[in-house]
Each structure stands twice: as structure tokens, then as C-alpha cells.
Structure 1
Amino acid sequence: MVVLTAFSVTAYGFLDPKHDTGLLLCTAGLWLLFALAVILLKKVPTRAAIVLVVAGSVLIGGAAMAGPPNTSTDSARYAWDGIVQDAGISPYAYVPVADELAHLRTDWLFPTPRENADGTHTCFEPRTHKTSGIPSGDPLCTAINRSKVNTIYPPTSELYFAGVRFLVPTTAAYWPLQLTGLLLSVGITVLLITAMRRRGIDPRWAALWAWSPLVATEAVTNSHVDVLGGLLVVVATLAVSRGFRFRGGIALGAAIAAKLIPVIAAPALLKKQPWKVILAAVATFALLYVPYVLATGVGVLGYLPGYLSEEGYESGNRFALIGLVVPKSAALVVAALLIALTAALVWWKTDPLRPWFGQLIMIGTVLLIVSPRYPWYALLLVPFIAMTGRWEWFAVPLALTARLLAPMPGITATAVGTAVFVVVAVTCYRQKWIPRARRLVTKR
């Protein structure tokens, strides 16, 4: 896995849908090796397995740093927001191509466009696109996606970006966020092992996070901030399971202020004394926003409303399975009802001493319903696959990965539908056969 991870990052450049066969084959190979490694780990003694899990987390994550991002340009926006903040400017105040920020542009984020004979300009660097300054209209090349709209990221993420970039010069390209992603992913590995040992769970299951190809690709190579939200949700879940509800609420509020989607982790944490979790989460979320609201006002909303519309959630176009059975105009309403029903069931059935089962169901089901085209959203799910050992839920990140690497409606619907089938089938098998097997063992 270490060798193939490094090869896939270095041998293939930024994803080109027309020439993605090599990356697709490498990704498939990594998932097969991952499954084989986890199966073989069962034969390793516990103490040696713990060392191997941590070492694998470090080595696979380190291999994922062998090259720049290969399927996303989000970390370019992260870096830019950090650079802007470290210059004393709110990241919500200007769009990246605003002339007011021209003095902050670096060559790796804004390479010089090449002028053609006819006076037009071309961008030749990978991960870049042609744009223009505002309001000057000067031709620009940039690696920052959606360079003419304000940032979408909430305050926890913005503080994280500023902190990472504060420690390095502006000329440092992608590696600072990749290194931080590696540290966060290894931190989650250690946290999972510690929590599992304390609760009598086989720590070998931590390999489901530590060695996951999704983690290496999306937390390290592409440096997605979702890994920070995932860490905070794990902390919140473990804190609440031990009765520390105010602390859990603080971690949950910080997680929601990292990327909003961690709000779906709330239902599993509200079984007992929910007011403590809610109060702490709301207060934390609000306090994190205060400095940015004072600096920018309502501009802190950034591009969020436009993003939701762009992604097709308002029109219903992004719901891979729901859109097949109901009119697209009604898909959003149906999705909202299904999510609300899932949240109610999770709140009702969750064991407050073991809330990770509720998190698995809530987060995994929402991802299946919403079916985003970005697999890194599943970084929120994988820690709870590890905590529960319910490996069948890996069908969800696999389906989202297929949607990214082969973005065709038929493939997307098939992948998401297959994920639903796998999860339901294996869950039914567990419910039917495992209790019976336990009864037989007890009688013997």
C-alpha cells in the first residue's frame, strides 16, 4: 500500500477525466490491498498489531505526501485564505482575484499567464485555470477554484488555515497542509486505539481508519479540512460517551464551525441531558464566528448559498437514487424527510454509552441520501466504521469515490444503489445469524 500510494501520487498528475484509467486502477488496487491487509491483521498478536497499525498510518500517510493534490484544488483555497488572514485581512472580505489582494499573490497560486500571438492568454500549469482580476480585468492564471466568489469555509477551518500558513513562508506550496493532514490522521488513529482499548474493543479495528485509501488520499494528498471536522466529532462522541456533555458540546460546536456538515453528528449525542450538548455547541459555534462577523458582517456567509445551488441540491439534480423514483422538484423535500426520520430514530435508539453506532447510522445514511460527488465527505464516517467494526459501510466511500473518478449518472446511481444493497444485506445477515451463533456458543 505504501509503494502503490506513492506511485499513484507521483505517476499521475491532476485528474483528467479523459485519461483517468491509471488512477482508477491504482485506486482499485489500493482498496484490494487494504482489504487483504485488514484480514491478515487478525492473525497478528494485539500488541504487535497496535504498533503495525500506527506505523502503517504514518507510512501510508507519508507516501501520500509524495506529490501535490491529484483530484482536488481545495487546498489551494485553504492556503490562500490562510495567507490573507496572516496579512491581517478577513478571508470573507474579498474574492481571491480582487485587485486589493494583488500584493499577496504567489507564483504557485497565481502563475504568470502566457501571452499568445493573437493577444490572448493561456494557462499551462496543472491545476490552474484562466481568470481575470477584479475590477482591473487583467488576465490571471490561478490554482484557486471559484476564484471570483468569496470563501465558503466557516471559522474553525479559517483559524486552522491561518495557523498552518503562519508557520511557513508564502512560497511553501501544498506540503504544509498535507503534513498537517498527516498529523491529524495519525492523531485520529492513536485516539481510536486508545478509546478501543479503554472500552474493550479490539484495537485492530483502528486499521479501518489508519490504512484506509480514502484517508491517505483525501486527508493527506488533497488535504481536505474534513479530517479536522472528523477529529472533533470523534472527540465529541467519546466525551459524551463518558458523561462529559459540556466538553462534547464544545467539540461538536467547533466541528460544525469547521464545515457545517458535522451537524449531522448531533442526534446521536442528545440522548441524555441534551441541553448541555446543545448549549455548549451553540455557544462555541457563535463565539468562533464573533471576530469574523465584527470584521466582515454578513459577508461571513461567503459563497454558501451559491454553492448549494451550484451543486444541484435546490433543484434535486444531485440526489442519485431519490431522483430516480420521485420528480426532481420533490427530491429535496423527500431527502429532508428521510434525514429527519433517520435523525429521530438515531436519537431514540442510540445507547448513550456507545454513541458511535448511532453516528455510523446517521452519517452513513445521510451520505447515501445526499450522495455528494465528493468522497472526502466520508472522512466523517470512517472513524465510526472503525469503532463499530462494521466494514460493510465502506461501500459508502467507495460509491462516492466511483462518482468522482467516473462522473456519469448511470455509474453514480449504480454505485450508490450497490452501497445501499451491501449495507442492508450485511446488516440483515448480522441481525439474523450473529445472535443465533452467540446463543449456540453459550449453550455449549
Structure 2
Amino acid sequence: MPHTLRAPLAPPVTRLVPAPRPGRAARPRATLVAAAVGLVGILTVQAVTLFQPGYLPDRAGVLYLAMLWWALGMTTATLLLHAAPRRLAVGLLLAGTVTIHAVALTHGPQLSDDLYRYVWDGRVQAAGIDPYHYGPLDPELAHLRDRWLFPDPGGCAAIERGPGCIRLNYPRAHTIYPPVAQAYFTAVHLLPGPPREHKTQLYTSLASLALVALMMTMLTARGRDPRHAGFYALSPLAGLDVASDAHVDVLAALLALGGIAVLTSRPRTRSAPAGPPSAAAQAGAAGGPVAAGGPVAAGRPTRRRTWIAGTLLAAAVAVKLYPALLLPAAARRRPVVVVGAAVAVVGLSYLPHVLAVGTGALGFLPEYLNVEGYGQGDRFLLLTALGINGAAAKTAAVSVLAAVTAAVMRSEPSRVPVERAALWLVGAAFLVATPVQPWYGILLVALAILAGRLEWLAVAAAGHPVYVSLFTDLPGDARTLRVSSYTVAALVVLIATLLRRRHGTHACPQAAIVTG
């Protein structure tokens, strides 16, 4: 037999794996512990805020607490983003979010009395009366008044207000809220729940939790970390303006993001083999566009999905009018379908009220714009700081928004995702119109998180100093404070944008994650 040559056995190969440096593995866990401490700090600030003496925003201490909340919220969200294990960090974020909303249910509103108007409008509609027909003080609605919304002298003293007080703002004016908001108020009135303020707070908190869940789902679909939703969930917008003050703006943001989700969704495909992250996933993680075949492709959406998206966006407009700013960003692929759906939904929602009260269906809106100073052109804080006032300020504001709208319409959806294009429009509107209501920033923050442009959180945070300064005496000149708040926020956005361009990255620099 021939001799068979066998190769000698190779000696076992010993791979030298560098030992981890001491403490490196423990850092993510230490970050998780620090995040847990941050959540405790947020809850402490929330509890102190809830029990501040005085009526609504007429307290300087509430502003300081709100800004401290912003600082703690943004710091804690950043820590959770870098904490490990990831599943535990997500659980901690969700637990903290639910706890913040639950704590808010133990006390009444803190900065605004808008929720009392929500309750009243729901009560009026449940009685079969059109909400745009009468003001709360009209004699036709006398039978609907009670000692809660229209307190006697003892009730006024209990809430630290003078005799003859009314919980509703603008009690002689017809309601300002659009029809889908009115439908929501009626639904809350008819649904079961805790008494008085807490019922409205409960359902608004549920909408806020749904918004957090939707953001996390959309972030995951874009190949990004769902923990970015913490930049909304841990902010005073969620815990104070939504959970405590129950602003309906959270419903508008939920519907608007739902429209974006439908517009950018793609059918599920077979999972690719595990491997290094693709370029599409990396682009999604950075907040940039994702190529076709990735989590969110940039192809043209179907007519059906576009119609559904336009319907949801229109419903958001019929809750609060400013989500209309999202329509140009959504209409770049199928403008006729999006605009057609928006016009149909808004028109149909207003139709029963127009038939009932005619032009009165506009409610208090025209007068409200004048009360806010937009009619005179003196509400535009950054423009007036540049010496542009009156009619010139209104012309400049319209020109800026028109230019941004044109830029959005010319942009390519595969390069500029819907959420980023929408952020351009909403962000420009904030910097031009400089609204005093901080809760308007809920939509802005949601878009900033989805677009990976966290520097815009500074613009949302600027609303709290502006708003509180209208109701209480603060150190220094109030107008300087208001202008400075938006000026600093605008500089943060500008610097972050320049840094991003300089370094050629889509990611928002951590230095741009500010507290406002």
C-alpha cells in the first residue's frame, strides 16, 4: 500500500485579545445610574413646581423651575442615550415618562387655564349647542354654568383670585379652537375618567404617551436610536405644558407625525443577513435621507398612502392651524393629492358649523391675532429688534416664510426627508413669529428629534421666559428678556448649522444639545 503522507497537526492558534481597560465596561452602567438620578431630579422639580403658591403663571419661581427642568431633562436624555444595557435604558425612559405624567394628575394646571375652555366647549357641544354660536357669558348658556368654572366668592378666594372670577379665559368671546379640536373636547366630556381638571389631563397625557411611542417607532424605522424620544418626554413641554396644562397641541403633533409616518412608511421586506450597518442605516442614524431599500425609502408614495397622510395632516390643521406649515413638505411628491385631502378634510369639518352659524365659525381667531400683536406687527420680536416694525415686519415675515416654502418645494425628497423639510418651515415660523405660548413648541421638538436637529430645542425652550414674563415681574427689562431668549436660541441654531456644514456631518453636535 502506498504510504499516505499526513500533514502535521498545526499548533493551536492563540488570539491575543486586549484586556478591556479598567472601568471602560462600567462607564455605560455608571451613565445609567446618573440618568436614574437625573430622573429623580426631574420628578423633584416637577413636585416643587406643582405646589408653588399663587395662581397659574403669576409666579417668577415657576420660570426658574421650568428652565431647571429643561436643563435636567436634556442632560438626562443625553445620559440615557449613552447608557447601557440599551434595553434597560429604554425601560427607564418609559418608566420615567409614565411617572411624570402620573404625577401631573395629582394637581391642577400650572401655566395656563386653556383646559377650562376645553371643558366648557365640550360641555356646550354635549348639550347640542354649536360651540361657535355663543360666548360663555351669553344668557343662552346660563343653564350650563356651575360653581367650578364660574366660582362664587369663596371659590374665587380658594384659587387666590378676586370676587367674580371665572376660570375660563376670554369669557365674552366665542371659542377659537377648530372643529377637530372641538370633537376631541366633546369626546373627553363623554368618556369616563377622574373629576374636573384631571379628566382632561388624563386624556391629554395618553395622547402624549402615544406621541412618545410613535416617535420611538419612527426613529427605529429610520435606523436611529428610539431613546432620542427622551428629548421630548423628559422636557417641561411633556410634563408641564401637556401633562399638567393639558394643551391640545399634543393631539395636533400626534396627528401630524402620524401623517409623516404614513407618507414615509414602506412595506416590510425580508430581513437582510446580519452584518455591519449599511450606508442607509448610517444615514438614518445621522438624521439624513435613507436610500431606497433602507428602513425608510425615498421613493414616491402610493396615492392611497398620500391621501391618508394628507387626511391626518389636515386633521392636525383642524386641531391647531399652524400644522398647515407641514403641507408643503408633504406635498412635494403628489401635491394634488395632499392638498386635495387637506382641503376636503378641513372643509368638511367646518361645514356643519358654517351651516349653523355662518362666518361665526371662525370664532375668536381674527380678534386673537390682534390681541397677540400680529395685526399691529409688533409681535415679531427678532424683527423688531432689527428695527423692522408694523407693516414692514408683517411683510418681512411673510417674505421669509414664502422663501423657505419655495426652498422646500424645490428640494428633492430623497435628499431632504419630509421631517427635515417640515422642520425648516416650522422653525422659520418660530424665529419669525416668536410665539409666546411655549406649548406651540411640541410640534417643533417632535420634528427636530425625527430630523436629528436637536439644536432647535433651544427655540422651543425660549418660549417659557417669554410667556412667564407677560404675567409676572422678573428682574431686568421684560422686553429685553423676551428678545434675548429668542436671540440666543437663533444663535444656537446658526452655530450648530455652521458646525455641521464645516464637519460635513448630518449628526447634531452634542454641543448643540442645549437647555435654552
Q: TM (normalized to structure 2)?
A: 0.77
C-alpha offsets along residues 94-143 of structure 1, whole Å, 9 cap, x if unaligned? 110111111111211001136xxxxxxx943438676xxxxxxxxx4310
Structure 2 distance, partners of 1:127, 1:158, is 30
Q: Establish whether residue 29 from structure 1 lines up as the match of residue 52 from structure 2.
A: no
1:363 and 2:414 are equivalent in the alignment: no
Give the Cα–Cα distance (whole angstroms) in 2 for the partners of residues 157 and 68 of structure 1.
21
Match of 2:256 among 233, 237, 243: 233
Cα pair distance change 1:174/1:127, threshold 3 Å: farther
Q: CA RMSD in A?
A: 2.0
Paired position in structure 1 for 2:306: 245
- After TM superposition, the structure 1 = structure 2 runs for residues 234-313 of structure 1, keeping only pairs within 5 Å, are 234-242=257-265, 243=301, 244-313=305-374
Partner of 2:376: 315
Residues in 1 aligned to 2:45 and 2:128: alpha-carbon distance in whole angstroms = 42
How many angstroms apart in 2 are the aligned matches of 1:366 and 1:395?
15
Q: 1:204 to 1:390 in 2, by over 3 A?
A: same
Seen in structure 2, the aligned counterparts of structure 1 residues 45 and 164 have a Cα distance that, compared at 3 Å, is same
Please name the residue that 2:110 is paired with: 70
C-alpha distance in 1, partners of 2:251/2:343? 19
Range 143-152 or range 403-412, more displaced: 403-412
Match of 1:3 in 2: 44
Q: Give the conservation status (yes or no) of the 8 Å contact 2:325–2:426.
A: yes
CA spacing shift, 1:435–1:257, aligned 2, 3 Å: closer
Q: What code does the residue aligned with 2:89 have?
A: A
Larger Rg: 2
Structure 1 counterpart of 2:455: 392
Deviations 1:207-251 (A, max 9, x none): 112212212111111111111111111011111123221011000
Q: Which one of the candidate residues 167, 176, 194 is aligned to 1:143?
A: 167
Q: Distance in 2 between matches of 1:323 and 1:386?
A: 30
Residue of structure 2 in register with 1:124 after alignment: 157
Letter in 2 for 1:10: F
Whether 1:50 and 2:90 are equivalent positions in the alignment is yes
Q: Residue type matched to 1:182 in 2?
A: S
For residues 347 and 126 of structure 1, do their structure 2 counterparts lie closer, same or farther at Cα, with a shift above 3 Å needed? farther
Q: How far is 1:26 from its partner?
A: 1.5
Distance 2:480 2:198 in 1: 36
Matched residue SS, 2:50? helix
Aligned residues of 2:55 and 2:161 also touching (Cα < 8 A): no
Is the Cα–Cα contact under 8 Å of residues 268 and 350 in structure 1 kept in the other structure? no
Asked if the contact 1:128–1:143 (Cα under 8 Å) also holds between the matched residues in 2, the reply is no
% identical equivalent positions: 35
Match of 2:409 among 334, 347, 363: 347
**CA distance in 1: counterparts of 2:62 and 2:103, whole angstroms:** 15
Compute the displacement of 1:168 (Å): 4.6
In structure 2, C-alpha distance between the alignment counterparts of 1:14 and 1:70, rounded to whole Å: 8
Contact 1:129/1:142 (8 A) holds in 2: no
Between the aligned partners of 2:326 and 2:161, the Cα distance in structure 1 is 35
Name the CA shift for 1:436/1:255 in 2 (closer, same or farther; >3 Å).
closer
Give the whole-Å Cα distance in 1 for the aligned partners of 2:162 and 2:167. Answer: 7
Which residue identity does 2:461 align to in structure 1? L
Residues 404 and 428 of structure 2 are in contact (CA less than 8 Å); yes or no, is this contact kept in structure 1?
yes
**1:57-96 residue pairs with structure 2 within 5 A?**
57-96=97-136
Question: After the TM superposition, which of the residue ranges 356-365 and 245-254 deviates more from structure 2?
Answer: 356-365
SS state of the match for residue 11, structure 1? coil
Deviation at 1:350, TM superposition (A): 5.3
Q: Secondary structure at the match of 2:243?
A: helix
Alpha-carbon distance, 1:292 to partner: 1.8
**2:500–2:506 contact (8 Å) kept in structure 1:** no
Pairing 1:428–2:468 present: no
Whichever residue aligns with residue 363 of structure 2, its letter is: G
Aligned mates of 1:291, 1:267 — CA distance in 2: 27
Counterpart contact for 1:50–1:193, Cα < 8 Å: no
Identify, as 1 or 2, the structure richer in helix: 1
2:455/2:496 contact within 8 Å kept: yes
Between the two proteins, the alignment pairs up a number of residues equal to 418
Gaps of 5+ in 1: 115-121, 131-139, 438-444
Q: CA deviation at 1:197?
A: 1.3
Once residues 85 and 15 of structure 1 are traced to their aligned partners in structure 2, the CA distance between those partners, rounded to angstroms, is 27
Cα deviations across residues 138-196 of structure 1 (Å, max 9, x unaligned)? xx431000000100111000000000011259x93211111111101100111111111
Partner of 1:215: 238
